[in-house]
Structure 1
Amino acid sequence: MGLDVEMKTAEPAAAPSPLIHLKATIALIEKGVAKKEMRLMARAIRQMLAVRRRLKASTVSSFLNYALPSGSEALSRLLGFVAKVELGDASMEVDTPPSMAQSSQLSYKQSVLPELESFSYLLVIIFLIDQKHLEDAKVCSSAAIKRLQQFNRRTLDVLAARLYFYYSLSYERTNSLADIRGTLLALHRTATLRHDELGQETLLNLLLRNYLHYNLYDQAEKLRSKTLRSDSHSNQQLCRYLYYLGKIRTIQLEYTDAKECLLQAARKAPSSARGFRIQCTKWAAIVRLLLGEIPERTTFMQQGMRKALLPYFELTNAVRIGDLELFRAVADKNASVFYADKTHNLIVRLRHNVIRTGLRNISISYSRISLRDVASKLHLDSATAVADAESIVTKAIRDGGIDASVDHSKGWMQSKETGDIYSTQEPQQAFHSRIAFCLNTHNEAVKALRFPPDAHKKELESAEKRRERQQQELELAKHIAEEDDDEF
């Protein structure tokens, strides 16, 4: 019996083929168009993305012949793109695409919905990107956008947002992102006029990414400040917007706002978006270091992110110690990583923080120390090291970084006794920031609640029920009055 049970449990159920999954999306799209329900469109896209890794050229061709009418321009164009991939495959397995003679018999409909045609374009674009046919994906996405501009249907908004994203991605992968900036601006203007809020969010993020890709931070900020943005309809688009806004604020030296945006973007991002969370964590760590804070060790020890965050962990350790020589070594060692992440310019700004941290440690350790020893401990290797140390100490005292005084005639730094931190306002400020964070989280959770449409109307009684209730109350009152008369 035990062996039979093991044999039964060891045989998993055969997974449905990708073609069956794709055909099931047609019913979802038609139902979404009939009921004008955007959730069904999003569900069809998710169902397609669930099988994207198992797609083959033969599967995509079979679906196109089934979904699109024979002889249509969209079918011939999309089959041409898939055929290029199919010719490059060495082995062809199941799901052989039907011939053009048979396509008229297998075609799902002779007239196709614009939503189904856009879905077919989206499927082929994603397939071409996954198969590394980037030039074909760029041409196909351009054709899809031109076709999409011919329609003005609200049921296309979800599919259009996806097409915009992969349109920009295909151009980014081919290093020609600047070529579509004018098109994206025109699409954003059209989406604004049509009140397509999801399209506005998507296109705004794509434009910000386009500008930031070429380090055009001023143009990105001007676009962001001039654009009216409503409440977010997509958590993914909100996370991207917060990430781009955090990068802009960082370059503009507004570190407090940048830190809040980056941490919120990393917190809201789904756990599956590991690459996005890694980028948010990298920038957030740099911003916190620039603010004089030291990120917790657990930030760099998250599962699946340790290797990617190792250079920033070493950098944080150098800043925490205040060792300028170690900081230089870490910056030179991981220069290629910092250049790839576009954080090298920010790391150059950290040099002053390293010196200030080292100076704070010196002021705590020594009640009095000569400026020459300060220059030696800070590794200020220059002919004017003592003069540089004197100016650094003076500036740190003026900024409130250390509590000390400088005796210029004798050439030493005199530290003052450290007071009780609980006699200051710092604990109250830390407590206030935690309360504000909890309240903000509660307000966002309340805003995220979803209720069924017209749910409040169910509790309201209809006019007929109200008349019946009033009639019953009148009869009850009359009956009570009659009983009172009988008693007398």
Structure 2
Amino acid sequence: MTPDVEMNEAPPPPTPPSQQQQSPPSPSILQHLKEIASLIESGAYLKEARRIVRAVRLTIILRRKLRSPVVAAFICSALPVGSEAHSRLLSYLPEEVENDMDVDTATSATQVPVKHPVPELEIYCYLLVLIFLIDQKKYEEAKACSSASVARLKHMNRRTVDVLASRLYFYYSYSYELTNNLAEIRGDLLALHRMATLRRDELGQETLLNLLLRNYLHYNLYDQAEKLRSKAPRFEAHSNQQFCRYLFYLGKIRTIQLEYTDAKESLLQAARKAPVAAQGFRIQCNKWAVIVRLLLGEIPERTVFMQKGMKKALIPYFELTNAVRIGDLELFRTVAEKFSSTFGSDRTHNLIVRLRHNVIRTGLRNISISYSRISLADVARKLRLNSDNPVADAESIVAKAIRDGAIDATIDHANGWMVSKETGDVYSTNEPQFAFNSRIAFCLNMHNEAVRALRFPPNSHNEKESDEKRRERQQQEQELAQHIAEDDDDEF
């Protein structure tokens, strides 16, 4: 490695490669992994999925600090040396690490004999190696590791494995997506979803349903995705992340099926429920929501494009919204060509093609408000219609807008005019009532969701308990709260 600053002193002699390879793993990270393993074992013995969820969360925190020697040392300490899982997982790691760890693993195995691990710990080792391989961009090894882990999961029917299994399913699909081979595992995902349904693994069903929807949408198979979504079993969501993903995919399906109102509600709800840290997901939700609102004839507020961390990513959609708001067809074409690569990567190019009619209708509405009478030739010139017969095109566009109720006008065919009627008072119509009703429905829906999210203590519906039972229950709750606080106040 070239030094950043040139020094006058003589550089120290280079370290031999053998000593570089045999550098001991970081004791702090390895110790953290061993404590996570003990947390998984206690969760498996006590049948508490909460401990395993916490172990997965701690692993995600440590994933950026993982190194090959640390992962290899942990596998050797967690799994019996010579077992099938031990040898298979070490084979996915770099060969020099595997060779360097032979001496250390042999000595550690003789000093501390490894007992037979619980199945949850074995699955966790698969998950740890898979995350490490994906972070190191070794996608082919990650594919092999994920396939082996899924094959191992088919022989386990334990509810404490469900949390780890759902994460493995996600990385299983993600590793194949990174190598552009998603179509190969579609049948396996369907079989896993059927297996999770038979085993009543609801978390696995949520995860696999989202993975299947993502698989179908990746290849633009929207009809198949809608058929699967409509036939899949419905139950209360167990994971907020999976529920947000489901709402996002549902919004995309509804958008393609021209159900813009339902799509808008799903996309906005997904963006609202998503965690603040999931910035990329929220950006995608806002991009699709902006397009859907434009297709509905709405103009998004400027604050949507000025959200923290999203301003740069939403610049193309801000300029597109400005073109639709003005009703300038030429500006709309310029923006569509300027950001065509961005719209293509976001898979919104086909939706933007649909917006052309909205741009024409908006411009026509502005013209009808500004002029009480205008010739169709002037309408074609103001709309910048580039065709062989712009007057005839303008006449057909005006006629369709009048029929759809977009403008309140008539066509004088003899003189070639568009005659606008006087603008009435909007408060004499039902528009304010519809807007007020939609706001009330939104508030009631949010209230109902908040009520459903409440958690009540068990047996809260029974009669009032006696003073002794109440004091005993309060003492147990205090002890449980103190125990949870001690678990959370660790160095992680």
- Scaled by the length of structure 2, the TM-score of the pair is 0.87
Q: Which amino acid aligns with 1:45?
A: V
- For residues 193 and 305 of structure 2, what CA distance do their matches in structure 1 show? 38
Structure with higher Rg: it is 1
Shift of 1:32: 1.3
Shift of 1:102: 2.0
- The aligned counterpart of 2:7 is none
- For residues 464 and 224 of structure 1, what CA distance do their matches in structure 2 show? 47
Report Cα offsets for 1:283-311 as digits up to 9, x if no partner. 11101100000111111111111111111
For the aligned residue pairs, the C-alpha RMSD in angstroms reads 2.1
**1:272 equivalenced with 2:272 (yes/no):** no
- For residues 85 and 99 of structure 1, what CA distance do their matches in structure 2 show? 14
**1:74 equivalenced with 2:79 (yes/no):** no
Shift of 1:273: 0.5
Shift of 1:427: 1.1
Against the structure 1 CA distance between its residues 453 and 118, is the aligned structure 2 distance closer, same or farther, given a 3 Å change threshold?
farther
**1:231 equivalenced with 2:260 (yes/no):** no
**Does structure 2 retain, via aligned residues, the 8 Å contact 1:85–1:131?**
no
**Does structure 1 retain, via aligned residues, the 8 Å contact 2:372–2:419?**
yes
- The aligned counterpart of 1:185 is 190
**1:308 equivalenced with 2:309 (yes/no):** no
**Does structure 1 retain, via aligned residues, the 8 Å contact 2:72–2:90?**
yes
Q: Which moved more, 1:383-392 or 1:32-41?
A: 32-41
Q: Which runs of 5+ in 1 are unaligned?
A: 1-14, 466-488
Shift of 1:361: 0.6
User: Partner of 1:413: helix, strand, or coil?
Assistant: strand
Shift of 1:42: 0.7
Report Cα offsets for 1:364-403 as digits up to 9, x if no partner. 1111111000000000011210000001001101100011
- The aligned counterpart of 1:389 is 394
- The aligned counterpart of 2:8 is none
User: Partner of 1:330: helix, strand, or coil?
Assistant: helix
1:402 equivalent among 398, 407, 417:
407
Against the structure 1 CA distance between its residues 47 and 211, is the aligned structure 2 distance closer, same or farther, given a 3 Å change threshold?
same
Report Cα offsets for 1:177-224 as digits up to 9, x if no partner. 010001000000010011100000000000000000000001111111
**Does structure 2 retain, via aligned residues, the 8 Å contact 1:405–1:414?**
yes
Report Cα offsets for 1:322-366 as digits up to 9, x if no partner. 000000000011111111111111100000000000000111111
- For residues 452 and 40 of structure 1, what CA distance do their matches in structure 2 show? 20
Report Cα offsets for 1:244-265 as digits up to 9, x if no partner. 0110111111111111111101
- For residues 85 and 238 of structure 1, what CA distance do their matches in structure 2 show? 42
Shift of 1:432: 1.1
Q: Which amino acid aligns with 1:286?
A: I
Shift of 1:104: 1.4
- The aligned counterpart of 2:201 is 196
- The aligned counterpart of 1:296 is 301
- The aligned counterpart of 1:119 is 124
**1:56 equivalenced with 2:67 (yes/no):** yes
- The aligned counterpart of 2:421 is 416
**Does structure 2 retain, via aligned residues, the 8 Å contact 1:65–1:106?**
no
- For residues 140 and 117 of structure 1, what CA distance do their matches in structure 2 show? 13
- For residues 436 and 376 of structure 2, what CA distance do their matches in structure 1 show? 38
**Does structure 2 retain, via aligned residues, the 8 Å contact 1:356–1:396?**
yes
Against the structure 1 CA distance between its residues 455 and 103, is the aligned structure 2 distance closer, same or farther, given a 3 Å change threshold?
farther
User: Partner of 1:25: helix, strand, or coil?
Assistant: helix
**Does structure 1 retain, via aligned residues, the 8 Å contact 2:124–2:164?**
yes
Q: Which runs of 5+ in 2 are unaligned?
A: 1-25, 471-492
- Identity among equivalent positions (%) equals 69
Report Cα offsets for 1:128-151 as digits up to 9, x if no partner. 000000000000000000011111
2:114 equivalent among 88, 102, 109:
109
Q: Which amino acid aligns with 2:240?
A: N
- For residues 41 and 120 of structure 2, what CA distance do their matches in structure 1 show? 8
* Moved >6 Å (runs of 4+): 462-465
- For residues 395 and 125 of structure 2, what CA distance do their matches in structure 1 show? 69
Matches within 5 A, 1:144-223: 144-223=149-228
User: Partner of 1:436: helix, strand, or coil?
Assistant: helix
Report Cα offsets for 1:143-181 as digits up to 9, x if no partner. 000011111111111110000000000000010001000
Report Cα offsets for 1:255-282 as digits up to 9, x if no partner. 1111111110111000100111111111
User: Partner of 1:240: helix, strand, or coil?
Assistant: helix
Shift of 1:435: 1.1
**Does structure 2 retain, via aligned residues, the 8 Å contact 1:360–1:402?**
yes
Shift of 1:23: 1.3
Shift of 1:69: 1.4
- The aligned counterpart of 2:439 is 434
Report Cα offsets for 1:65-114 as digits up to 9, x if no partner. 11111211111111121225858xxxx9xxx7863412414667320111
Against the structure 1 CA distance between its residues 103 and 72, is the aligned structure 2 distance closer, same or farther, given a 3 Å change threshold?
farther
Against the structure 1 CA distance between its residues 103 and 176, is the aligned structure 2 distance closer, same or farther, given a 3 Å change threshold?
farther
